Structure 1
Amino acid sequence: MTDIAYIGLGIMGRGMVRNLLSAGHSVAIWNRTPRDLPPELAAATVAPNIRVAVQGKPVVFLCLTGPDAQLAILTGAEGVFAAADKGAIIADATTTDPHLTKELAGEAAKHGLRYLDTPVFGSKNEAWEGKLDFVCGGDKAAYDEIRPLLDAMAASVHYLGTTSNGAAAKLVGNLLVAAQLSSLGEALALARKSGLDPAALMGYLDVTDFSSPLIRGVGRATLGDNFDPSFYLKHMLKDARLIGAYARSIGVALPASSTTAELYQAAVNRGLGDLNASALHKLQFEMSGLD
């Protein structure tokens, strides 16, 4: 059993805590805003502040909304870096800027801490069922030390190498997710406007060589008008902006992804930000004259 602190109890964090508890670990939890917690998290200790949550814990996990939240939670006099015990491993699953990841790792080292970037692929269901995919960067010895904890939450775990490689790999993957969602919305608009039967359409999209779990699952949800949030559209916009800024900083041209990012901005402006990321399809349907 490992004593763990977990910071950030959003859609992803709650599921990850559930699986750490199920694996027999002791978990202290803290979130910036109070949240109603499911019964499965009853065994976790709710800490009143960051310092109480992380002190005495050899491992601190985080999953936050982005760079601003990271800076607020990790740095400063009351942040994780100041409060954690020397030698502790800080495993950060936040989707963020790889340049910031390097800065945070350097700041952690000044406090005698070991910082790993450990972002994840998956959404609410995968987090709850322990079927996330981790992409990790940082010190290999620290990674090896927490690998059993990652396995408790994961379908797969991948070590990408030095600090920030996990963060960069996460942006690579999210670029593909954003592109698939956008192209799927256009394809479904074309299918609907052509009068294709939804069941028959999905029947062949299930088995073609260009299919994917995203096409199969999200396609059915969209055609069933189900946009309950597993990953907020506003967070996909945040990730699209991170991808664009990072690509520009290293001289990579992303013309198609830039257009996709503007579609997500338009969808947020349309008031769809608190729906699932696939609610982009509502905007695409509207653009095609569909309900």
Structure 2
Amino acid sequence: MQADAPIGILGLGLIGTAFSERMIGAGIAVIGFDVDPARCEKLRGNRGTVAASARDLAGHCRAIVIAVYSGAEAEAAFADLESSPARPAIICTTTCAPGEIIRLAKRAASAGIAFVEAPISGTSAEVRDGTATVLVAGDAAAIDAVDGLLDILCPQRRCIGKVGDASRAKLAINLILQNNRAALAEGIALAERMGLDGQTFLATARRSAAYSRVMDTKGEKMLNRDFRPQSRLAQTLRDAELILAEAARHGLRLPVTEAQADLLRIAITIAGPDSDSAAIIEAIRQQPDSVEDSR
């Protein structure tokens, strides 16, 4: 296929849309597919082209970026890609369980498809502005073949090792990130309840030993109740459940993450599954002013 053939995006949610904007901004032709017609129309409005199916996508592209919701969706979509006689390189950015991504890589190898594991650490806003990090794993030749594309998609890159290792690292990183976010939510909620000015508190926390980058990405959203999604509560909970399942598989209990997952479930009932992950703060804010002594 020609070197200037389009790049395909399978899955046009928050991350897939951010990828399309980066590539179109770099002058690369983009063709995408999503089961949601509204997402496809948004790509058309952004000067992209829409394929009729995942199989159709494969026939037009030199490489395809998979950015669907889950590992199960990625495996289902891969069946359509396998059925095409075309063999574009595959970059899978979906957060998967290690077992899921290893199965995909084996299927790709059997079909003669170059495959790169590349989950993203960061929100759609961070992908859009180039500050997210892609965790890359796989065969060196396959990675080299899409090196320039990876630089456009996500300029910050960490090479992890063999397929499966990037997903393992992503889950452990997400554990830290999610628990930092929940801790920030508790800190802001406590500061508000004690009568402190939220903006002053957040500015002070940013200069303290407690600083984490989540204060920059989610602090203002929590203060202002701005829950327009950059990352969705439902996706965050799915990732937390992946983390807990993988830990259980290795005989490890994660009590802090268990509590954080419960907060996410409560936040979803309050703010809805499509609200930004910053809405976890509502699970803490919307508690009774006082707790009865159970004695």
Normalised by the length of structure 2, the TM-score is 0.90
Is 2:84 the counterpart of 1:83? yes
TM-score computed with the length of structure 1 as normaliser: 0.91
Matched, 1:14 2:17: yes
Distance 1:39 1:82, change over 3 A: closer
CA contact (8 A) 2:67 2:94 kept: yes
Tell me how far 1:70 sits from its aligned partner: 1.3
Paired letter, 1:37: K
Q: Which amino acid aligns with 1:180?
A: N
| 1:61-106 C-alpha deviation (Å, 9 max, x unpaired) | 110111221122112xxx11222624x3211100111111111111
Partner secondary structure for residue 212 of structure 1: coil
Given that 1:82 and 1:111 are in contact with CA atoms closer than 8 Å, whether structure 2 keeps it comes out as: no
2:7 maps to a residue whose letter is I
TM-aligned CA deviation for residue 243 of structure 1: 0.6
Tell me if 1:73 matches 2:77. yes
1:224-274 alpha-carbon deviations (Å, 9 max, x no partner):
121111111011000000011111112333221122112212222345322
Q: Deviations over 1:165-187 (max 9, x none)?
A: 11111111111111011111111
CA distance in 2, matches of 1:101, 1:47: 25
Give secondary structure in 2 for the equivalent of 1:134: strand
Within 5 A, what are the aligned runs for 1:132-147?
132-147=132-147
Q: Which residue of 1 aligns with 2:293?
A: none
Task: Please name the residue that 1:128 is paired with.
Answer: 128
Paired position in structure 1 for 2:262: 262
The 10-residue stretch of structure 1 (147-156 or 33-42) with the greater mean CA deviation from structure 2: 33-42
Report the 3-state secondary structure (helix = DSSP H, G, I; strand = E; otherwise coil) of the residue aligned with 1:65.
coil
Over residues 20-65 of structure 1, what are the superposed CA-to-partner deviations in whole Å (9 max), with x where a residue is unaligned?
Answer: 12223222211111123167721x2211111221115331111011
In structure 2, distance between residues paired with 1:59 and 1:38: 18
| Rounded Cα–Cα distance in structure 2 between residues aligned with 1:240 and 1:114 | 30
- Structure 1, unmatched stretches of 5+, are none
Stretches of structure 2 that go unaligned for 5 or more consecutive residues are 291-295
Residue from 17, 26, 50 that aligns with 2:54: 50
Instruction: State which of 16, 33, 37 in structure 1 corresponds to 2:42.
Output: 37
Q: Tell me, yes or no, if the aligned pair for 2:32 and 2:43 is still in contact at 8 Å.
A: no
Return 126-135 or 159-168, whichever deviates more.
126-135
Counterpart of 1:250, as a letter, is: H
| Deviation of the 1:209 alpha carbon | 3.1
Distance 1:200 1:84, change over 3 A: farther
Shift in Å at residue 127 of structure 1?
A: 2.4
Separation in structure 2 between the aligned mates of residue 187 and residue 155 of structure 1, nearest angstrom: 32
2:232 is equivalent to residue 229 of structure 1: no
Question: What RMSD, in angstroms, separates the aligned Cα atoms of the two structures?
Answer: 1.9
Deviates more, 1:66-75 or 1:234-243: 66-75
Paired residues, what number?
285
Equivalent-residue separation in structure 2 for 1:223 and 1:108 (angstroms): 45
Q: Provide the rounded CA distance (Å) in 2 between the counterparts of 1:65 and 1:56.
A: 23
**2:174 & 2:288 partners in 1: Cα distance?**
26
Q: Residues 252 and 2 of structure 1: is their aligned pair in 2 closer, same or farther, counting only changes over 3 Å? A: farther
- Matched ranges for 1:90-109 at <5 A: 90-109=90-109
Specify the alignment match of 1:151 in structure 2.
151
Q: Is the 8 A contact 1:175 1:257 kept in 2?
A: yes
Q: State the secondary structure of the residue aligned to 1:287.
A: coil
1:227 partner SS: coil
CA 1:226–1:18: 2 relative to 1, 3 Å: same
The CA distance in 2 between the partners of 1:110 and 1:255, in whole Å, is: 40
Q: Which amino acid aligns with 1:82?
A: S
Q: Is the 8 A contact 2:225 2:279 kept in 1?
A: no
User: 1:140, 1:161 within 8 Å by CA — same for their partners in 2?
Assistant: no
Letter in 1 for 2:23: L
Q: Provide the secondary structure at the position in 1 that maps to 2:156.
A: strand
Matches within 5 A, 1:154-169: 154-169=154-169
Give the ranges of 4+ consecutive aligned residues of structure 1 lying more than 6 Å apart after TM superposition.
none
- Give the match's secondary structure for 2:195: coil
